[in-house]
Amino acid sequence: MKKTYTEKIQIYKTNKIAALYPTAKLIIVLLYIVCTLIIGTARITDWSLPLLLIPEVGLLILLFMLSEIPREGYTILKNIVKFAAIILTVQFFLIPGKTCIFRYSFVTIYKEGMQAGISMAFTLINIAGIFIWFFQTTENREMIGAMEKTGIHYKLTYIILSTLQMIDILSQNSKTILNAQKARGIETEGNAIIRTKAFISVLLPLFLTAVIDLEDRALSLETKGFLVQGPKTHLLEIKRSGHESYAVGAAIVITILILIGRIVLCIRY
């Protein structure tokens, strides 16, 4: 049976975790950040290192796997890990402190630098990673639809949606312009100077394209009665999967257990 237009634009997800309602996933994100901050205050070993942040990254990857995150999500996480590795290296070897842990020739590692490096690097990975999970399992239009259902004004939600879409549009347009410049024989690859020149030459056509798209978008909104006062019709239906209460409940229980564990650890040590 041929599907109607309204049926075609609906969002269908087979994975139960990815199919959670956007609001429920946002609550899980906030609770995960709270857990990360609590775990980051727990210091173990004789050097008082926040090592418990490291296994939390394993739980994040497990969440990625259970949610069937696409390869793009892992690529973004890999780039975050590379940036965190730079932070870790700088803190380990370049930040001085009072307590020396390791010294060989001109290489010196201080306890303060190790503490700050592990804390900053793995906190960054965990917090950035949970946001990657949220945006990889939640489409922009799905998130905006859920926001409107909570009572947020449709003009504000449209601004948020257009901002999120503009990032992808500018990225695609810049690639198109670079490919066009390559076809004309303009150098776009090489050292930093060549890449900078190529980037500067992209800015003007990219800006003009964005202005033209903005005008077309404004005309499209006028034809759809965006500024007309009254109730709005939504073709996209955001439905709950039915597992939101279990997922949020589990996240709350885990957060409480981590908080209790941190209090017990604080009392014992």
Verify that 159 and 261 share a domain, yes or no: no
What per-residue confidence (pLDDT) applies to 39? 92
Verify that 245 and 124 share a domain, yes or no: yes
Verify that 131 and 155 share a domain, yes or no: no
Verify that 214 and 244 share a domain, yes or no: no
**Does the residue 6 lie in any domain?**
no
**Does the residue 231 lie in any domain?**
no
Between helix 154-183 and helix 140-149 the angle, nearest 10°, is 170
Alpha-carbon gap, residue 255 to 67, rounded angstroms? 20
Verify that 35 and 124 share a domain, yes or no: yes
Q: Which of 168, 142, 178, 183 is nearest to 25 (CA)?
A: 142
Verify that 149 and 96 share a domain, yes or no: no
Report the number of distinct structural domains present in the chain. 2
Verify that 130 and 252 share a domain, yes or no: yes
Alpha-carbon gap, residue 81 to 128, rounded angstroms? 10
Alpha-carbon gap, residue 117 to 124, rounded angstroms? 11
Verify that 209 and 154 share a domain, yes or no: yes
Task: Collect the ranges in the chain with pLDDT lower than 50.
Answer: none
**Does the residue 88 lie in any domain?**
yes
Verify that 132 and 148 share a domain, yes or no: no
DSSP state at residue 184: T
Q: Which of 155, 132, 127 is nearest to 53 (CA)?
A: 127
The range of the structural domain enclosing residue 174 comes to: 144-223
Verify that 117 and 31 share a domain, yes or no: yes
Put simply, whether the predicted model's pTM sits higher than 0.85 gets the answer: no
What per-residue confidence (pLDDT) applies to 268? 62
CB atoms within 10 A of CB 260: 10
**Does the residue 246 lie in any domain?**
yes
Kindly report, residue by residue over 202-255, the tens digit of the pLDDT: 777 777 777 777 777 777 777 777 777 777 777 778 888 888 899 999 999 999
**Does the residue 150 lie in any domain?**
yes
Contact (CB, 8 A) for 101 and 110: yes
Verify that 27 and 134 share a domain, yes or no: yes
Indicate the residue type of 54: I
Verify that 160 and 76 share a domain, yes or no: no
**Does the residue 254 lie in any domain?**
yes
Please report which helix (H) or strand (E) contains residue 106, including its range.
none
Q: Residue 144: CA atoms inside 13 Å, Cβ hemisphere, count?
A: 19
**Does the residue 232 lie in any domain?**
no
Alpha-carbon gap, residue 34 to 36, rounded angstroms? 5
**Does the residue 9 lie in any domain?**
no
Alpha-carbon gap, residue 230 to 228, rounded angstroms? 6
What per-residue confidence (pLDDT) applies to 195? 67
Contact (CB, 8 A) for 52 and 42: yes
